[in-house]
Structure 1
Amino acid sequence: MNVWLTRLRPDLRHPAARHDLRDAHDLHRRIMMLVPDDLGEHARRETGLLYRVEHTPSGPQILVQSRVAPDPRRLPAGYATAETRRLDPLLNQLRTGVVIRYRIAGNPSKRLAKASPGPGRPGQVVPLRGADAEQWWIKQAEKHGLQVASLIARPVPDARGDKNGTRIKHAIVQFDGTAVVTDPDLVRAAVLSGIGRGKAYGCGLLSLAPLKVDR
């Protein structure tokens, strides 16, 4: 298993960095520069590339995960600083019953059925809010080998952009908390493939860390 995590710290003095943080589609295209060209129509899926934008007191950062070694030198000069490390050791240590900390910026949503009451058209994907969003994550976690023990849900700015004249908008909720591993293989698969919709636009990256217990 080969998995890399790269932490990009965009330099907000760089015009391309400022622009990309405002346009989810252009940011997606920029992040894809980290991996080789000519990988076909499904390059993101083939490389397992997932990312999440986080806003910290020291400025924005972008966490990028991939199954191929990233090459930050392919980014424009001065665009961002980059730190890369392997995730294999952490994933290999997952065991049933282990308690972990998690973070995921998800796109809680559902597709309306033909007979759905209320606004919206059949087949439309609509965002979930509040308690519905929390239940979405609890069910997703269970399906992917985690039993949620604690949960903090925080809406973050939508992923917005323009793709060839088509407006892009994905509602995002960041979920943080602790969980118990019930199926390590399912958890590893979820980390590698991501969870939910909007993976090309900063959703679905599941980050894990061992739970540190004070002694």
Structure 2
Amino acid sequence: MTPTATLTCIRLNPDHHAVRRGLADRVQLHKTLMRLTPGTPSPHPRRDAGLLFRLDTDHDHPTLLVQTTQPPDLAGLPARYGTLLAARDLTPVLHTLTAGQHVRYRITAVPVRHLPGTPCGRRPDGRIRHSRGTPTALHGHDAAQWWQRRANQSGLALTDISLTPRTFERSPHTPHQPGLHHQLIQFDGHAHITDPRLLAQSICRGIGRAQSYGAGLLSLAPA
């Protein structure tokens, strides 16, 4: 069964105090956007709502792309928080993905590699087993290789890759995960689809870590 998703584009009002707070701290932005998906309590409310977002600050007015499993409740946002530019049901698009189709892509992600941890036993072949070590942010060629692997695992074969570092805004008072300062990188380029079903699932599920903070939303357009 093909998953469902709605994509909403909101132009933010930079004069609103909640917008300014969110632009300065991704944790606060996440908390505000969770108001778009009210529902029954859950141990994993963001994941269950399918909430993914990407913040674009390259233009005069910051813009949010927000993806949810169900149409978002825009009334949950503060008054005058922003202007709705577009809302689109992605489900028909997910149904029409085809193998071999050429597309342009964009994703902001947090590429990481886990260094080997402490020894914790032996594998059946005799090799030493290590615990999962500290996640380490990747840059440059290593980051591109990370995205190449994740794209292949998501039903997408890349033709080219360009990298643009993005700022991870965080209040100095907000605790962060030990051993990792989030490094957001925007990947753009062209690709062709290898597995439409797997790709549709990856689009709805998101790719990589830090999805609560604006990473993992994969956007596609005809090449």
Q: TM-score, normalised by structure 2?
A: 0.87
1:30-71 alpha-carbon deviations (Å, 9 max, x no partner): 010001143312111111110011123232111100001101
1:79 corresponds, among 64, 81, 88, to 81
Q: CA RMSD in A?
A: 1.9
Aligned residue identity for 2:24: R
Mapping 1:127-138, distance limit 5 Å: 127-138=137-148
Alpha-carbon deviation of 1:194? 0.5
Alpha-carbon deviation of 1:84? 1.4
Paired position in structure 2 for 1:118: none
Provide the C-alpha distance between the structure 2 equivalents of 1:108 and 1:196, rounded to a whole number of angstroms.
7
| Matching of residue 200 in structure 1 with residue 202 in structure 2 | no
1:36 corresponds, among 30, 38, 42, to 38
Alpha-carbon deviation of 1:158? 2.0
Residues 107 and 159 (structure 1), Cα distance of their counterparts in 2 relative to 1, 3 Å cut: farther
Provide the C-alpha distance between the structure 2 equivalents of 1:162 and 1:65, rounded to a whole number of angstroms.
28
Contact 1:50 1:66 in 2 (8 A): yes
Q: TM-score, normalised by structure 1?
A: 0.90
Provide the C-alpha distance between the structure 2 equivalents of 1:80 and 1:104, rounded to a whole number of angstroms.
23
Aligned residue identity for 1:172: L
Contact 1:26 1:161 in 2 (8 A): no
Provide the C-alpha distance between the structure 1 equivalents of 2:192 and 2:69, rounded to a whole number of angstroms.
25
Alpha-carbon deviation of 1:161? 4.1
Aligned residue identity for 1:60: P
Question: Which protein is bigger by CA-based radius of gyration?
Answer: 2
Alpha-carbon deviation of 1:162? 6.5
| Matching of residue 142 in structure 1 with residue 152 in structure 2 | yes
Contact 2:36 2:73 in 1 (8 A): yes
| Matching of residue 171 in structure 1 with residue 173 in structure 2 | no
Contact 1:159 1:201 in 2 (8 A): no
| Matching of residue 66 in structure 1 with residue 68 in structure 2 | yes
Provide the C-alpha distance between the structure 1 equivalents of 2:58 and 2:143, rounded to a whole number of angstroms.
24
Provide the C-alpha distance between the structure 2 equivalents of 1:159 and 1:126, rounded to a whole number of angstroms.
19
Provide the C-alpha distance between the structure 2 equivalents of 1:4 and 1:24, rounded to a whole number of angstroms.
22
Aligned residue identity for 1:185: R
| Matching of residue 111 in structure 1 with residue 120 in structure 2 | no
Which secondary structure does the structure 2 equivalent of 1:94 belong to? coil
Provide the C-alpha distance between the structure 2 equivalents of 1:81 and 1:67, rounded to a whole number of angstroms.
21
Aligned-pair identity in percent equals 39
Provide the C-alpha distance between the structure 2 equivalents of 1:42 and 1:69, rounded to a whole number of angstroms.
18
Aligned residue identity for 2:155: G
Aligned residue identity for 2:176: R
1:60-118 alpha-carbon deviations (Å, 9 max, x no partner): 11110000110111111011112311111221111000001110001000111137xxx
Aligned residue identity for 2:175: T
Contact 1:172 1:203 in 2 (8 A): yes
| Matching of residue 97 in structure 1 with residue 100 in structure 2 | yes
Provide the C-alpha distance between the structure 2 equivalents of 1:162 and 1:10, rounded to a whole number of angstroms.
23
Provide the C-alpha distance between the structure 2 equivalents of 1:149 and 1:53, rounded to a whole number of angstroms.
25
Provide the C-alpha distance between the structure 2 equivalents of 1:26 and 1:5, rounded to a whole number of angstroms.
21
| Structure 2, unpaired ranges of 5+ | 119-131
Contact 2:110 2:208 in 1 (8 A): yes
